Amino acid sequence: MTGIAKALAAKHGFALSGVALVPESGAAPRAAELTSWIAKGLHGPLEYMPETQDRRSNIRARFEWAKSVLCLAAFYDGQERGRVGRDLSAHVARYARGRDYHRVFEKRLKLLSRELIDSGICTRAHYYTDTGPVFERAWAEAAGLGWTGKNACLIHPRKGSYMLLAEMILDCSPAPDAPEPFHCGTCTRCLDACPTQALTVPGVLDASKCLVTYNIELNGNTPRSMWNEQGKWAAGCDICQEVCPFNAPRRVAEADPELLAPLPWQSMTLAECIGMDRAEFDRRFVSSTLRRTGINGLRLGAITAAGNMRSGECVDALRGCLMDEDSAIRERAEWALAKIFEVAH
């Protein structure tokens, strides 16, 4: 049964797949750690985490029939792209550079769920890809797709961590896969490299300190105290993955062709992003993961990156922002220009 499910997963473009069984209690793997993470407030401003904690910690809270989880992953483009200070692509985290994976995966998952039922493997299959309250990384780890590194990412021993996850909740019990052992050893590169010290405890992310919380999830509303630390990143941050030896360029997995397909925004410069209007945003970001950050979220990120990179090429675009109708854009552009011209701030 597991072999057929995995063959179907591969047919639908998932590079990795594995099965984890749901215990009688329905508890997700690492549920106790999730509870403690939220109790300590490490979710920061991500209010949806406590709000969905019950369903995230227990898969049977929503799917009382769940017996197993078929965990799936595909790899995104792990290469460096663009020229820092000039091209927007050099300032965007790798996972967000490609086509909107929610849409790409949902099409595949719909077909896969139908085939799993048609082939008699299960009678019910419900899927998510970052689209519902499932503790996806913990299930994927239990299903043997990789181990949770000290950077709190799932890492495959030979293909690295530049992957996106999805899962299919099933009402059958195929043979489960064995979890991958922990391979970080004594390495602490990610903990040392994080610019905001968001990884003070190995494997535990303090989301209130992570750049991604603000420049993607909260639409560019990064607290002023973190603007300098945001460095070159307009959207997302890859530092704790870039420094990981399991993501060395020779190891990085081949990207999924659909996620790698070119998008209209990828030829944009940082300056063009700073000055873009609604029509440009709609045209360039229509199929992009970055669309969810919103036009001004992206502009705020690009302004911050331009300031930190002291990008002379962005000065005109930044000056144009000083008259913007959005006060957050005006304030951030003022800061960036001051930074470029080294005025005290």
Catalytic machinery residues: 130
- One-letter amino acid at 85 equals G
DSSP 8-class letter at 261: S
Query: Residues 206, 37: contact at Cβ < 8 Å?
Result: no
| Cα-Cα-Cα-Cα dihedral sign, residues 98, 101, 103, 107 | positive
Residue among 22 and 210 whose Cβ is closer to ligand SF4: 210
Which residues, 6 or more positions from 311, have their beta carbon under 8 angstroms from its beta carbon?
Answer: 85, 86, 270, 271, 305, 340
Query: Residues 161, 244: contact at Cβ < 8 Å?
Result: yes
Q: Taking CB under 6 A as the rule, which mask of x and - marks residues 223-262 in contact with ligand SF4?
A: --------------x-xx--xxxx----------------
Q: Is 305 among the residues that bind ligand SF4 (CB under 6 A)? A: no
Which one among 17, 57, 68, 196 touches ligand SF4, defined by CB under 6 A? 196
Residue among 59 and 194 whose Cβ is closer to ligand SF4: 194
Instruction: Quote the tokens at residue 236.
Output: 């997302």
Which region among 170-178, 187-195, 311-319, 333-341 touches ligand SF4 (by CB under 6 A)? 187-195
Query: Residues 193, 240: contact at Cβ < 8 Å?
Result: yes
Q: Is 184 among the residues that bind ligand SF4 (CB under 6 A)? A: yes
Specify the residue for token string 């990795």: 16
Which region among 163-171, 206-214, 273-281, 330-338 touches ligand SF4 (by CB under 6 A)? 206-214
DSSP 8-class letter at 304: H
Residue among 27 and 204 whose Cβ is closer to ligand SF4: 204
CA distance 20 to 57: 15
Scanning residues 67 to 96, which ones bind ligand SF4 (CB under 6 A)?
none
Residue among 226 and 328 whose Cβ is closer to ligand SF4: 226
Helices (H) and strands (E) in the chain, counts: 15, 6
Task: List, in sequence order, every residue forming a beta bridge with 17; answer none if it has no partner.
Answer: 72
Q: Is 41 among the residues that bind ligand SF4 (CB under 6 A)? A: no
Using CB under 6 A, count the residues that bind ligand SF4: 23
CA distance 95 to 234: 13
Which one among 123, 188, 200, 267 touches ligand SF4, defined by CB under 6 A? 188
Q: Taking CB under 6 A as the rule, which mask of x and - marks residues 207-226 in contact with ligand SF4?
A: ---xxx--------------
Residue among 116 and 184 whose Cβ is closer to ligand SF4: 184
DSSP string, 186-248: T--HHHHH-TT---SBTTB--TTT-HHIIIIITTT---GGGTTTTTT-SB---HHHHT-GGG-
Q: What residue is closest to ligand SF4 based on CB?
A: 149
Q: Is 199 among the residues that bind ligand SF4 (CB under 6 A)? A: yes
By the criterion CB under 6 A, which residues form the site for ligand SF4? Answer: 149-151, 184, 187-190, 194, 196, 198-199, 205, 210-212, 237, 239-240, 243-246
